[in-house]
Amino acid sequence: MNFKKLFVGALASAALLVSGSFTNNAVVHADEATANTTTTAQPQLSKDEIIKKIEDVNSKNIQSLRLRENITVSYKAKKKNNKITVKLELIEKEKPTVAKITYSIAKQKETVYVTDKYVYSKNGKRWVKEKVTNSTTKKLSKKDKKQLNKLRKNIEQRFQKYMSAKNIVENLNNFTQNNVTVTSSNGNYLVSLNNSSEFNNLLKQTMLAFVQTVASKKDTNKIEKSLNVNNFNFVETVDQNTYKLKNLTLNLQVSFNKEFNISVDVTADQFNQHNNLKVPAKVVKHAKSAK
């Protein structure tokens, strides 16, 4: 399982890109004074050796995981403070793909199962299934498909143009290479990146790149003046002896116009503990095909 998938569907696009920069590049700034454990006689490891070991062990060996995300939105309306909380739990395995997605908003809670062939969801008290291959684009006319493809291409071009102009990817990679740290604690490596105004600004620029794909330049400039990334923390816990990933935690806090505050907390753990995940037999048996 590719590291990128740990955060797919879990974060805002900007946060996804940032977490991908950690995992794809395995950027680690090793502290030579803490690279050794005090309980084993391991030789001191260089920065490049730690990077390679983490990549080699985890890049292809993760077959299942649990991902949890809490999103809290606080805002003012009619002089009152309001808060909305969304909770998401994703349990996923590969080969074949099976995913259990549970999400809740306020008192409403729903569970969905996804496989290579079907999506199982509840319609009232009844389970229904829909083929994954039944893409809505198949129902479109040739003219509509052409317009949709043109729109997708335009969005991609606008995003790439913005990213290139701002050198966002290069700046993010350079920053993480210089600021991500590794410490040893209780037999684990803690790979972390702590909050800083410089990184928060880079993350803000990444978010604006995605906003720019759907908004005009004028609107993007307005949002840029109102959007603030107030906090970002990332910690990856890796077993110091086996280099296996134990968990990932990420916190992102964003404000907009000083009226909206968004907090995102993500945890990924239970790696390879769900390799036997299946859609419950009673769901498969009773699910009716969606019309």
pLDDT digits (tens, 9 = 90+) for 193-238: 888 888 888 888 888 877 877 777 888 888 888 888 899 898 999 9
Q: Is the pLDDT confidence value at 170 over 70?
A: yes
Select the more confidently predicted residue: 60 or 34: 60
What domain count does the chain have?
1
Residue 34: pLDDT band (50, 70, 90) is: very low
Amino acid letter at 127? W
Token pair for 160: 């790439």
Select the more confidently predicted residue: 165 or 50: 50
CA distance 179 to 165: 24
Select the more confidently predicted residue: 31 or 260: 260
Mean of pLDDT over the chain = 78
Per-residue confidence (pLDDT) for residue 33, from 0 to 100: 36
CA distance 124 to 145: 33
Per-residue confidence (pLDDT) for residue 137, from 0 to 100: 53
Per-residue confidence (pLDDT) for residue 113, from 0 to 100: 95
Q: Is the pLDDT confidence value at 168 over 80?
A: no
pTM summary value: 0.74
Per-residue confidence (pLDDT) for residue 5, from 0 to 100: 39
CA distance 22 to 173: 8
Per the CB < 8 A criterion, the answer to whether 75 and 254 are in contact is no
Q: What is the mean predicted confidence (pLDDT) over 260-281?
A: 94
Per-residue confidence (pLDDT) for residue 48, from 0 to 100: 67
Per-residue confidence (pLDDT) for residue 283, from 0 to 100: 95
**Identity of the highest mean pLDDT range in 4-13, 57-66, 264-273:** 264-273
Token pair for 134: 């039944």
Q: Is the pLDDT confidence value at 93 over 50?
A: yes
Domain carrying residue 117: 3-289
DSSP code string of the chain: --GGGGSTTTS-HHHHHHHHHHHHHT---B-TTTSS-SSS-PPPPPHHHHHHHHHHHHTTT--EEEEEEEEEEEEEETTEEEEEEEEEEEEEETTTTEEEEEEEETTEEEEEEEESSEEEEEETTEEEEEETT--GGGGS-HHHHHHHHHHHHHHHHHHHHHHHHHTHHHHHHHHHHHH-EEEEETTEEEEEE---HHHHHHHHHHHHHHHTTTS-HHHHHHHHHHEEEEEEEEEEEEETTT--EEEEEEEEEEEETTTEEEEEEEEEE-TTS-TT----HHHHHHPEEP-
Q: Is the pLDDT confidence value at 279 over 90?
A: yes
The radius of gyration computed from the CA coordinates of the chain, to the nearest angstrom, equals 22
**Identity of the highest mean pLDDT range in 104-118, 150-164, 184-198, 272-286:** 272-286
Longest CA span, the chain: 67
Residue 3: pLDDT band (50, 70, 90) is: very low
Residue 15: pLDDT band (50, 70, 90) is: very low
Q: Is the pLDDT confidence value at 276 over 70?
A: yes
Poorest-confidence range of 86-100, 127-141, 173-187?
A: 127-141
Per the CB < 8 A criterion, the answer to whether 256 and 227 are in contact is yes
Per-residue confidence (pLDDT) for residue 131, from 0 to 100: 87
Residue 26: pLDDT band (50, 70, 90) is: very low
Select the more confidently predicted residue: 243 or 146: 243
Beta strand 98-105 pairing with 80-93:
antiparallel
